[in-house]
Structure 1
Amino acid sequence: MEAMHTAHWPHALRPYQEQALQQVEQLWQSGHHRTWIVLPPGSGKTLVGLEAARRLGRRTVVLVPNTAVQNQWISHWRSFQHPDATPATAGTGPGLDHDVTVLTYQSLAVFDPEAETDAEGRSTTPVRDRLHPNGRALVRALQQAGPLTLLLDECHHLLQVWGRLIDEILTDLPDARVIGLTGTPATTLTSTEKDLVDRLFGTPVVGASVPALVRQGYLAPFAELAWFTRPTTAEHQYLAEQGTRFTELCTDLLRPGFATTDFLAWIDARFVHRPTDSGGHLDWSHVATSTPDLAQAVLRLHHAGLCALPQGARTLEHHRRPPTDQDWTALIGAYARTGLDPDHDQDALERIRTALPAVGHHLTRNGVRRGASPVDRVLARSDAKSHATVEILAAEHAHLGERLRALVLCDHESAGSRLPAALREVLAPDSGSARLQVQLLATDPRTRDLHPLLVTGRTVACGPDTAADLLAFARAEHPGLQLSARPDQGLHVIEGAWTSRTWTATLTRFLEQGHSHVLVGTRALLGEGWDARGVNTVVDLTTATTATAVVQSRGRALRLDPNWPDKCAHTWTVVCLDHDHPRGHADWDRFVRKHDGYLGVDQDGQIMSGIAHIDASLSPYNPPTDTDALNARMLTRAGQRHRTRQRWNVGAPYHDTLLPTLRVRQHRRPPSTTAGAGQDLPAPVPPEAVTTPSGARATAGAPQLLTPATGILAALAVLFLLAGWTAPGWFTAAAVCAAAAGALVLRRRHRHTTRVLAQAALPVETARYAAAVADALHGAGHAPIGAQGVRVHCDTDGIYRFTLTGAGGQAAEHFTQGLEEVLAPLVEHPRYIVARHVLPTPPHRAAHRARTWRAALGARTPVTTVHHAVPALLGRNRQGARAFERAWCRWVSDGEVLYTRRGHGQQVWLAHLGSDPVEVATAHRLMWE
């Protein structure tokens, strides 16, 4: 293997690549034999893997997910330079005769259909013993090859059956060095997946994130966009018919007499007032942990006003929405199982049984079982989504012209054989397929000049105008290759002696050289690993929502394009909504899951996770209603790639950390009139005055004044003089001086009181609540920094965003959670509450003057009082509550914290239960910086 050592990469490695390789070297030196490297798609994982293998100098076997990637590995290895006459070789044969052999996982994991299984189809033998003879031969070749380096590309695939197989094979290869490569962060793995990955690879080497590499200029800036569409008329009619039964069932459930035990009475007895054996109430934390779907559903019923709030429960952002079909289904399943009598409630059970299939569920003896939902299928494969893709690409072509290089990802090539019988009158045979998409693009006058190509693992096809050019190009690339074009349903299928390993690379060059501007393919072939540097637009029509699928599909457009140094990529997701069906948000829910945890830049240049970076108006818990306006904004952004690039602020410093942030929408202030929109606001400063139970007080810098009694005495002296009371001259002079001094003091006090009352009467800005929470957390030892770490940003739509910076992720999470609890309506039962006093506005100017003079003379000013919850973290003990009280008195209002579990505090809490002290809406997000 001397040729492995002498080869070298002819270019400089990027800093993060060299850093990853150094970490791998340190693992080898410390005795590890396995590791996995996490780097985003487009960051050069292939190069890092090959360089790590080259430094080891062993025979190398690479396993990849598909044939599209296979040739890329070989081509990449051949780009290494070899100074001697016997360069290291690369191949794809199972004999492992080359220095670098690249195989697919499928070539190894081919199972024998005759392998022995038990009565339930489970294997009774190890996975490797169930391999097809070809697979067993490959395993023997691995065992006999001597010291190996095994590179496992896109190793997240090992979480499937391949993981068990590789785990067994590696036990017979104790000397092998194993390197996994993936773009999927370890934080997205489930506990089971993490256990398998830890066993296979051990310690991960984690590189920079996608935003970090964009900031460094190693990945292209990008924008996430979305197009919202509605089902076709036929699809909508079907959905309406399906949804009527379920909607009627939910309505009937709420009526008395539906069954022996009414539904709402069962909810109350089961969740709200359910006693325990010890005589207390059910521990809500146990309900939330053991049955989270039921707990969520009950809290949404409470939000809708259908039941009381269970003791100990707390509503969060995702609970403040109407119950969804999934909420109803979860409750109906438990109700049918524990609340209905099979002997006396036959009619109720039959109603439930006939209505549930409309939302993809079925009633069984053990409750409700989820099945295939026809509604999900219609929304996912709606014909409207294919037509929306035409609109998107027409718009992108209008902006980019000949520079457009687009990839459309679908789940399948042709859907006809997979369509259920019940939907054959609703959906077209090829709805949602890659083939239909190419047909629409090839026939629409706005997109046919894009020369769209169909590229899957088994088919290459195009429009008739493109076929001749494609045949000529392929024959020039592969002289002697016999190809022909066969007409098939409006397309021309290219046939001949080639395979996907050959045509994928050929069609990639066809696209990048501008002969075609759109490839339409399946996620299985082009959705990961496929390298086309020119791709600048991706349209995602797939239903995959895993973190792996999202990262991989987005990564197809992030590679730098040497022909366009200022490249900026767009990734579009098409979403079909039907607001009239209880499950008409199923496609929306997929859309939300795709963006959950995925980072993108918003219109203000803030990099954050979730769908808010697509449009600030979007909430993950409620689908939009004004989709036409949203689509118009998306089209506007599509024509502003230069602005997207500016928002990424390429070259600016960063920390590569994620911080929780709280978005706050103020109901009383029109967003369009908010000052400072689209920028960071000054840090909060303590107010000049705060309210008190008797009026107001200055917080700092107030002038030292004489007491009210002094002013009163001076006023009396003036009255004596005016009454003509005779007295010795010296006394009269003293009285005059005293009267003058008293009048001056009274005047100064009046001015001071007027200013203090005016300041205290101003509405409390949300930033002051945020500062109070931050200072309280700092004072209680939960954060290393207080109010000076609060960052306030105002989005372009007038929504405020509050983040605690410089304190670490855990403290920032405490801050956002605590601020939300302070701002939330008082519908729960916190341990402590705190008062905020409010100065009412006088009805007219004369009343205002009278109030200020009375206050100047020492009289109490009437106030109203509202109460806020003390954050749960600070309310765990008296010390935390006192820390919050001190911060509250400094930033918001004089107010004493009250313990609500007994006595006066409990009475106050009950009196204010249900009140909304500030009337805002809040939402949690993650922000990158």
Structure 2
Amino acid sequence: MQFKGTWRDYQARVLAEMDGYLSDARLHIVAAPGSGKTILGLELMRRIGRPALILAPSLTIRNQWRERLFPLFLDDPQGWDADISTDIETPATMTVTTYQALHAVHASGAERFDALVTALERMGPITLIVDEAHHLRREWWSALFALRERLQDTLLVALTATPPYDAPFAEWSRYEALCGPIDSEISVPELVRNGDLCPHQDHIHLSRPHHDEWTLLLSRREAIERLTEALTTDAALIDCLVAHPWLADPQAHEEELLDRPEYLTALMIVIHAAGRAIPPAATDLLGIADAALPPLTSDWLERLLQGLLDEPRSKTVLGDERWRKLRHELDDLGLIENKRVTLHESKAIFTAVAGSVAKMDSIVEIARAEADTLGAGLRMVILSDRVRANELPKQDDLPFSPTKLGVVPIFEVLRRANVIPDALAVLTGTLVILPIGVLPAFDVEATAMRIDPARVNRRVLPGCPDHVGLEAKGGIGHVLITVVTRLFQRGAIRVLVGTQALLGEGWDAPAINSLILASNAGSYMLSNQMRGRAIRIDPGAPGKVAAIWHLATVFPGSSADPTAREGDIALLARRFDAFEGITNGPSQTVENGIERLALDLAVSTDSENSRTLTEARDRQGVAAKWRTSLGGATERSHVRRVAEANYAPRALAWRDTLRALTFSGISGGALSATGVVRQFIGSGNLVTLLLIFLGATFVFSLPKLSRAMMLWRRNGSLERSLSQVCEALVATLHHAGALSRDGSGYEILIRPNLKGRYEVIMDRATRAEERIFLDALAEVLGPVQNPRYLLVRESHLWGSRRTDYHAVPALIGARKEIAEHFHRQWRQSIGSSELVYTRTGDGRRTLLRARVDSFAAGMGRVFQRRSVWM
């Protein structure tokens, strides 16, 4: 094998770094669609130089490996049958198969699986390549883990475009246990810069709910308001809460309190909101005064109610009758779902909003605007979750009132709105609809593929007289999809409505330049797959700029902050956390997050939609913004993970350093000045002597006062404080062997952003080192969880006393010697503090105070991680 092309710069970067990542016998690469992931995998196989077993999630992807091998690495596909196998039970030098095939062998019994292991072992140490491992279903994991455990000295290469970043913790842990931490990543911005993906922008189109949906939410909000008022004015209930054993005798329940500090905090907040005093035993132990508690919100009330229902002793605290009455009341109000108290959006409301037919109006408005902008060049795909074929109208002259979002309702609403009806089609796995005028072109394409058009049934649609339904006979359904795709590429079809299941992954139509996601998918994997359809370059349209449209139904009175994550905005926020793009407005960064679109929910939906549609029309402006945003980056630029913080330990400067320096400076200066004044006694009046004394004091104090001012300037800003925390972390992580270099080997960049927070970037680090550092920083600056060690610091500023708690990161706190090293670095860089081991009686009480403090502060410390191109 020998690669016959030229490596793109991002491919060359990954290949140059590969040896440094194989120390744990695993290489984990995330590569965006269009980056040449399969070609990279073949080159990695060649360089490692071992027989390889390649596992893929589908036959299509399996076949791509052999297709890329010839002619990119080998000239003639003939004569290699003995060396390339697609049968897992007869492995060869290169064996390409599917996860399903491996699972079938493993599930069939020990004898067959043992034979496979023996056949692979006979070949010597192998390279195991797992392609798109995020597809692994639960039953497939056991087979893969069993194989890897049995094979000795295996090197594993994991390749994926969409790792399950937002999967549940257990699923992500299983994924990372197999693939290892992400070693290298090829991002979308790199591909756009190199011209391997097209410029694009995401847009959000807003709609208001219809009457039924709005009534549903309004009645729920009113019920929660009544419930809150009833609970806080129920004197007997508050008496029960005040008498709760956790508050009356907290020391006897320390272990329970440590496990559920949020419930303890909710108890205190509700009591305080009812105008009652919290028992002194609790405030003394926890160091939390009534005034320090945040106001009662639905979040805190939800925590309280859930705690009362879950905690066995609650029946004793409230009494059986009151407890049952509370549970029945919550049930009657629909506030319990899957045994969880839910005071926010219920499943019924989420389903109603996510599938709101109000989004139909958005789809029509977008389609019209895009048709006006792109004309005959429009290639729009609209993806939905359900087909809803039974909603096809039976008669054309009857009113059409869709009840739910779906492929057929979207198609029919667009058809009746007269949005390009002669080029509007449906493509799903079970339903295909074409305009009658496109049928001659369909027959030509089918004939060119050597398919007799007669093998495709034409079905009359009485309710859609200008369209016809198609049904393939004789197992040629895949050919039908191919023919419709070609018609779309040519422009005979310009608006195609389909399901994300069929068109969301694997379907390839580079001509797409407008994509509407009328889907409820919020996961990283599905969202990235769907967007990936639209941002591919189109050889037939070199200037292609794509628009990706997201739909959101928002209620009146919703938070104006898109990060509040309510309803559809919450779903979109999850999507936007998954990919990077250009911003709207003056910022030139390329980053992830919904905030980059500068969505304004405070204005009317019509005003916001008008602004969005205007921005979408300016395709050349989008392309220019990409060029500008990418232009300042170096050739080695790539997407970095960035920490965003609004907090760092700043107040220590006065107590630890400034006060001592100021007092010692002034007192030292005064002593020196006294000696000067003695020389002038008898030669001047009292005022002159006083001026001489003060002047001499200032002169002799100046060095230490200057030092104090310098330290104030150094410590008085959030930027400097973050820098000091980072210095202490890097030094300790290097000492612990988690980072390969000390502080001089990395550059820690601290810079402000438009939200009033500071971004922390670790430069010159590998992806793994970046992750280790940012994880540790998150533990130090974020809410306290359950660390083995705590740093406790007391600060005095302007007459007030404050106690702050910082978790010692788990990687550092695993060993006492490393934790003590971090403590020394902290004192040297930041200031005095006490290192507390939390697994003793006193330590547990300190940890309890720290955890309650975190919750009582409303988790006001913001620590977020974003992806930024630089």
Q: TM-score, normalised by structure 1?
A: 0.63
**Residue 396 of structure 2 corresponds to which residue in structure 1?**
none
- Between 241-250 and 453-462, the greater mean CA deviation after superposition: 241-250
Q: C-alpha separation between the residues in 2 aligned to 1:321 and 1:53?
A: 56
Residue 323, structure 1, aligned to residue 305, structure 2:
no
1:408, CA displacement in angstroms? Answer: 2.4
**Residue 382 of structure 1 corresponds to which residue in structure 2?**
356
1:320, CA displacement in angstroms? Answer: 11
User: Do the aligned partners of 1:243 and 1:358 also contact (CA within 8 Å) in 2?
Assistant: no
For 1:769, the aligned partner's letter is S
- Between 651-660 and 873-882, the greater mean CA deviation after superposition: 873-882
**Residue 330 of structure 2 corresponds to which residue in structure 1?**
352
User: Do the aligned partners of 1:772 and 1:888 also contact (CA within 8 Å) in 2?
Assistant: yes
Residue 286, structure 1, aligned to residue 229, structure 2:
no
1:457, CA displacement in angstroms? Answer: 0.6
Residue 230, structure 1, aligned to residue 188, structure 2:
no
**Residue 397 of structure 2 corresponds to which residue in structure 1?**
none
Residue 585, structure 1, aligned to residue 577, structure 2:
no
Equivalent in 417, 423, 429 of residue 457 of structure 1: 429
Equivalent in 429, 432, 442 of residue 405 of structure 2: 432
Cα distance, 1:486–1:586 mapped onto 2, change above 3 Å: same
Cα distance, 1:190–1:541 mapped onto 2, change above 3 Å: same
Superposition pairs of residues 174-323 of structure 1, within 5 angstroms: 182-185=160-163, 193=171, 208-257=186-235, 262=240, 264-265=241-242, 269-270=245-246, 275=250, 279=252, 281-282=254-255, 284-287=257-260, 311=286, 323=299
Q: C-alpha separation between the residues in 1 aligned to 2:717 and 2:181?
A: 47
SS in 2 for 1:281: helix
**Residue 681 of structure 1 corresponds to which residue in structure 2?**
none
For 1:511, the aligned partner's letter is F
User: Do the aligned partners of 2:489 and 2:511 also contact (CA within 8 Å) in 1?
Assistant: yes
Q: C-alpha separation between the residues in 1 aligned to 2:302 and 2:203?
A: 27
User: Do the aligned partners of 1:325 and 1:359 also contact (CA within 8 Å) in 2?
Assistant: no
Superposition pairs of residues 136-147 of structure 1, within 5 angstroms: none
In the TM superposition, what whole-angstrom CA distance separates every residue of 1:514-540 from its partner, at most 9, and x where no partner exists? 333333221211111222223344332
Cα distance, 1:786–1:584 mapped onto 2, change above 3 Å: closer
- Between 510-519 and 80-89, the greater mean CA deviation after superposition: 80-89
Q: C-alpha separation between the residues in 2 aligned to 1:475 and 1:492?
A: 21
In the TM superposition, what whole-angstrom CA distance separates every residue of 1:739-794 from its partner, at most 9, and x where no partner exists? 99889869989999999999999994432433443455567777943999553434
**Residue 769 of structure 1 corresponds to which residue in structure 2?**
721
Residue 924, structure 1, aligned to residue 864, structure 2:
yes
Cα distance, 1:659–1:383 mapped onto 2, change above 3 Å: same
**Residue 859 of structure 1 corresponds to which residue in structure 2?**
none
User: Do the aligned partners of 1:109 and 1:165 also contact (CA within 8 Å) in 2?
Assistant: yes
Residue 523, structure 1, aligned to residue 500, structure 2:
yes
- Between 793-802 and 45-54, the greater mean CA deviation after superposition: 45-54
Equivalent in 6, 29, 32 of residue 40 of structure 1: 32
What is the percent sequence identity of the aligned residues? Answer: 20
For 1:873, the aligned partner's letter is V
Equivalent in 718, 730, 753 of residue 795 of structure 1: 753
Q: C-alpha separation between the residues in 2 aligned to 1:150 and 1:341?
A: 61
Cα distance, 1:374–1:13 mapped onto 2, change above 3 Å: same
Cα distance, 1:751–1:326 mapped onto 2, change above 3 Å: closer
1:374, CA displacement in angstroms? Answer: 1.6
Q: C-alpha separation between the residues in 1 aligned to 2:182 and 2:496?
A: 35
Q: C-alpha separation between the residues in 1 aligned to 2:835 and 2:6?
A: 65
Residue 653, structure 1, aligned to residue 635, structure 2:
yes
Cα distance, 1:281–1:497 mapped onto 2, change above 3 Å: closer
Residue 594, structure 1, aligned to residue 567, structure 2:
no
Cα distance, 1:721–1:24 mapped onto 2, change above 3 Å: closer
Cα distance, 1:614–1:201 mapped onto 2, change above 3 Å: same
**Residue 534 of structure 2 corresponds to which residue in structure 1?**
557
User: Do the aligned partners of 2:55 and 2:99 also contact (CA within 8 Å) in 1?
Assistant: no
Q: C-alpha separation between the residues in 1 aligned to 2:331 and 2:690?
A: 90
1:833, CA displacement in angstroms? Answer: 1.6
Q: C-alpha separation between the residues in 1 aligned to 2:15 and 2:727?
A: 43
Q: C-alpha separation between the residues in 1 aligned to 2:460 and 2:209?
A: 33
**Residue 480 of structure 1 corresponds to which residue in structure 2?**
452
Cα distance, 1:345–1:512 mapped onto 2, change above 3 Å: same
Q: C-alpha separation between the residues in 1 aligned to 2:485 and 2:614?
A: 29
Q: C-alpha separation between the residues in 1 aligned to 2:331 and 2:763?
A: 53
Superposition pairs of residues 659-808 of structure 1, within 5 angstroms: 659-664=641-646, 692-693=658-659, 707-709=672-674, 719-720=684-685, 764-774=716-726, 777=729, 784-785=742-743, 789-796=747-754, 799-803=757-761, 805=763, 808=769
Q: C-alpha separation between the residues in 2 aligned to 1:820 and 1:201?
A: 28
Equivalent in 483, 492, 508 of residue 485 of structure 2: 508
1:456, CA displacement in angstroms? Answer: 0.8
Q: C-alpha separation between the residues in 2 aligned to 1:778 and 1:165?
A: 39
1:574, CA displacement in angstroms? Answer: 2.0
- Runs (5+) with no aligned partner, structure 2: 393-399, 785-789, 814-818
Q: C-alpha separation between the residues in 1 aligned to 2:304 and 2:440?
A: 56
Cα distance, 1:260–1:415 mapped onto 2, change above 3 Å: farther
Q: C-alpha separation between the residues in 2 aligned to 1:195 and 1:665?
A: 29
In the TM superposition, what whole-angstrom CA distance separates every residue of 1:194-240 from its partner, at most 9, and x where no partner exists? 78769999999966344444455444454444334331122211332
Cα distance, 1:788–1:552 mapped onto 2, change above 3 Å: closer
**Residue 310 of structure 2 corresponds to which residue in structure 1?**
334
Cα distance, 1:888–1:325 mapped onto 2, change above 3 Å: closer
For 2:186, the aligned partner's letter is A
1:381, CA displacement in angstroms? Answer: 0.2
Cα distance, 1:481–1:349 mapped onto 2, change above 3 Å: same
For 2:644, the aligned partner's letter is L
Residue 544, structure 1, aligned to residue 521, structure 2:
yes
Larger Cα-atom Rg: 1
1:454, CA displacement in angstroms? Answer: 1.8
**Residue 835 of structure 1 corresponds to which residue in structure 2?**
796
Q: CA RMSD in A?
A: 6.7
1:244, CA displacement in angstroms? Answer: 3.7
**Residue 383 of structure 2 corresponds to which residue in structure 1?**
409
Q: C-alpha separation between the residues in 1 aligned to 2:527 and 2:229?
A: 38
**Residue 594 of structure 2 corresponds to which residue in structure 1?**
611
In the TM superposition, what whole-angstrom CA distance separates every residue of 1:256-297 from its partner, at most 9, and x where no partner exists? 2575974x448x645x66636xx4634654337xxxx86897
Cα distance, 1:748–1:517 mapped onto 2, change above 3 Å: farther
Q: C-alpha separation between the residues in 2 aligned to 1:373 and 1:720?
A: 86
User: Do the aligned partners of 1:578 and 1:585 also contact (CA within 8 Å) in 2?
Assistant: no
Residue 533, structure 1, aligned to residue 510, structure 2:
yes
In the TM superposition, what whole-angstrom CA distance separates every residue of 1:114-140 from its partner, at most 9, and x where no partner exists? xxxxxxxxxxx99559xxxxxx9xx99
For 2:469, the aligned partner's letter is I
1:323, CA displacement in angstroms? Answer: 0.7
Cα distance, 1:507–1:181 mapped onto 2, change above 3 Å: farther
